[in-house]
A and B are shown apart, each in its own frame.
Chain A
Amino acid sequence: MSETFIVRVKRQQRPDEAVRWEEFELRHRPHMNVIQCLRDIAERPVTRDGRETTPVSYEANCLEEVCGACAMIINGQPRQACSALVDSLAQPIRLEPLTKFPLVRDLQVDRTKMFNDLKRTKCWIPIDGTYDLGEGPRMAPSLQEVGYPLARCITCGNCLEVCPKVNSHTQFVGAAIINQVRLFNLHPTGAMHASERLDALMDPGGIQDCDNAQNCVKVCPKGIPLTESLAAMNGQVVWHAIKSWFAGR
């Protein structure tokens, strides 16, 4: 390992401004991750050819891959910058913003769409109130062991980034959201309202847009069984449609 290494960053000052690439030469230290690279650039915002520039804009918070903020494209792959260790990356390291979300600046994008889709699909348990109503429903450990991994989704958007059906022509909600619907539909109280969520998944942009490319599951940093969730929800939606048809809705 040489003492310095190169990081190339795709820069864009504003959504309506031109894209440019900048190259930085950084000092290598053990256990360095991409966040540390971006901090080094902020401390000395000078490109490799000696031009002064601005610090790179990016989102980050927990730095331990549990908040979802720092997703970006690193050497062509969508992943979290905090867990991308310099020593495990081919160099020069290339950093680009996610492309399926509106760009804010540099590596920073606006993922509001995902939070809005969680609203659209009613991803919550409709409790009666926060006053003391006693214990929650009992739950078999086996059900918890299915539910908990689904609940670890950090809304990073990597699964949307690699999905061919998430693009400017569709409203497809993507695997993350469909996985959340599965989570709430399997909860004993959530199941009471499953049909409302399934209705939402039958709307434009719903599960019918999935064409089973199966890219999503490969980039999930939390190893969530997204394709299982897609299959499970497909089944639920089909049954729901048949039942609705018989009920004359």
Chain B
Amino acid sequence: MATIRVAESGVPVELFSIVPVKRSHSVCAQGGINAAKNLKGEGDSTWIHFDDTVYGGDFLANQPIVKGMCEAAPAIIDLLDRMGVMFNRTPEGLLDFRRFGGTLYHRTAFAGATTGQQLLYALDEQVRRFESEDKVKKYENWSFLSAVLDEGGIGRGICAMNLKTMEIGTFPADAVIFCTGGIGAIFYYSTNSVVCTGSAQSALLQQGAHYANGEFIQVHPTAIPGEDKCRLMSESARGEGGRVWVPKQPGDKRRGKDIPEGERFYFLEEWYPKYGNLVPRDVATRAIHKIVFEMKMGLAGDQPAVYLDVSHIPADVLDRKLEGILEIYEKFVGVDPRKEPMKVFPAMHYTMGGLWVDNEHQATNLAGIYAAGECEYQYHGANRLGANSLLSCIYGGMVAGPAAVRYARDLENGYESVSSRVYEDERVRQQDKNDALLNQQGGAENPMTIWRELGQLMTAHVTVTRVNSDLKKTLGQLDTLQDRYKRISLADRTQWSNQTLNFVRELGNMLVLAKVITLGALERNESRGAHWKPEFPNRDDQNWLKTTKASYKCGTIKLEHEQVDISLIPPRERKYTAKA
């Protein structure tokens, strides 16, 4: 969306993407996109959407910009509809809406269960149109290495690597917008795509950008566990009536479909009567962990799991509204979820934290550098509501694009005034890093092994339950992994489509960001949203109603804290246990 807004204003755009744009991770967003269009006669409003978002995020988000997003949402849906997104329809031909977690309203527009794919395609098509008019130039299969900063620390473009030829180039620009997505690869076992490494964010952090609220990691309650990836089973399954349960009798060996209704424990419905299966994700995830680990009521079998059941919903409704995800379950597990309950377990899904940006322009603290989408921090506080991510990334792009254009137009001296030395120095610096990795000898470490161990470490200690002693140990182990990283020996030293080289560069950045996340979690002695510390079970507004802001200098991470703007909705206790 940022690209479209900039191109639309007549400013030329160079669009860099590590994969062909159409294959980006947004294709994995399934359930929908929120907008309080109030088409179901429920009295929904953008204010209630705003309140649900702030409350769902446990009051950690700066409120004015969240309000702006919720107010813009209905027009964003209309725009996407005009772009041709095949949203599901009502009999009257209007957009259909379904319910999602953390709200009592039908507020989520959807295109089957592949909404992210459909939205990404619509935006990609608009970009292709600008491309055909020579207003956008695409560089696909390029990997971002670093920003080019001039002597005054002002962003003047980027340095990137062509993943086919491995050539490193610099690209001057007056402003750069980062839309580099999530960081799931740091946890290895996540619902994210392969390219979601957070490498770009980490590289910027190491160049002086601030990174905010890194410790807030969303673990989605319902995913299919997998060794290569945990495949998401969208919240929309519950939005359409799906129910989460376990057998009342622990260790019950019968197949799920053979267990009679009276012998099932619908724990979310019992514990949270008003929201039922649609409590926010952090709440549902903790409930599942409690069932499995504390109450020992998880499903029989090798892997921890609970049932997500849609088999009571008529098959034609499922096919019309959820086909995309049911197909994934069927293909990867080999069981038809129309007939049998699905086995699911929580998995790392999203980072609420990201590059720090100001509250108006999506601008990072580095002049000329902007960020939008999952790679920045500002819309979701301590926990994101389902179907708010597609909204926040589009809204962020709509703000960042024009803001970057304004900045570039107001610049007294554009990139033309910057000495070519600045660009050449950065290129050489990055080329030297490549050469050093390619020539690194004598070690026997393998990057895939380090990656898996990093993921196991982070998944075990820095996801659902955080314990200070474990976090301290984790930091030590991350140091060890960083030492081992220096002894990596590349199994591929060629200069043509060397995927190992690019991955090793990303892995180095992942290790740095892992420390930011862990350190943030260690310092924050309270429980808020997705950050749960049994030693400190309550939210502590007195000390911790604050944004964590990380900076990096000479290998050391420093954390500062910033007040949260709570000028619109006074914080109140977050509690989903109320009666229906």
| Residues in chain A within 8 A of chain B (CB atoms) | 13-14, 29, 31-33, 35-36, 39, 42-45, 52-55, 57, 59-69, 82-83, 85, 104-105, 108, 110-112, 115, 118-119, 122-127, 129-130, 132-141, 144-145, 147-148, 151-152, 154-155, 184, 187, 189-190
Q: B47-78: which have CB < 8 Å to A?
A: 75, 78
Q: Which of B1, B25, B228, B500 contacts A33 (CB 8 A)?
A: B228
For A153, the closest partner residue in chain B by CB is B121
Per the 8 Å Cβ criterion, residues 100-124 of B in contact with A are: 111-112, 114, 117-118, 121-122
Known: A55-B499, A144-B88. A69 touches B23 (CB 8 A): yes
20 A-B residue contacts at CB 8 Å?
A: A13-B496, A39-B448, A59-B19, A61-B23, A61-B195, A63-B193, A63-B229, A65-B328, A68-B22, A68-B23, A115-B20, A119-B132, A124-B128, A125-B84, A132-B79, A140-B93, A144-B87, A148-B111, A151-B86, A187-B84
B448 is contacted by which of A43, A135, A144, A152 (Cβ under 8 Å)? A43
A108 with B491: CB separation less than 8 A: no
Complex Cα distance, B78 from A127, in Å, reads: 12
Contact B92 A31 (CB under 8 A): no
Q: Which A residues are in CB contact (< 8 Å) with B28? A: 62, 64, 66-67
Among B1, B78, B92, point to the contact of A135 (Cβ < 8 A).
Answer: B78
| 4 smallest beta-carbon distances between A and B, as pairs | A136-B81, A138-B93, A124-B125, A43-B448
Q: Is B89 an interface residue when CB atoms closer than 8 A count as contact?
A: yes
Residues in A with CB closer than 8 Å to B248 are none
B494 touches A (CB below 8 Å):
yes
Contacts of B92 in A (CB 8 A): 138
Task: Please indicate the chain A residues that have their CB under 8 angstroms from the CB of B24 in the complex.
Answer: 61, 67
List the A side residues contacting B541 at CB < 8 Å.
Answer: none
B interface residues, tally (CB under 8 Å): 71
A125 touches B83 (CB 8 A): yes
B87 touches A62 (CB 8 A): no
Q: Is B497's CB under 8 angstroms from A119's CB?
A: no
Q: Choose among A64, A104, A145 the residue that contacts B229 (Cβ–Cβ < 8 A).
A: A64
Contact of A55 among B125, B126, B492 (CB under 8 A): B492
Give B525-564 interface residues, CB cut-off 8 Å to A.
none
Measured in the bound complex, the distance between the Cα atoms of B107 and A193 in whole Å is: 32
Which A residues are in CB contact (< 8 Å) with B140?
A: 112
Q: Tell me which residues across on chain B come within 8 A of A134, comparing CB atoms.
A: 78
Assembly CA distance A82 to B228 (angstroms): 9
Docked-complex contact B84 and A43, CB < 8 angstroms: no
- B328/A119 in contact, CB under 8 A: no
Contact partner, B194, options A33, A61, A130, A140, Cβ 8 Å: A61
Beyond A62-B193, A133-B82, is A115–B227 a contact (Cβ under 8 Å)? no
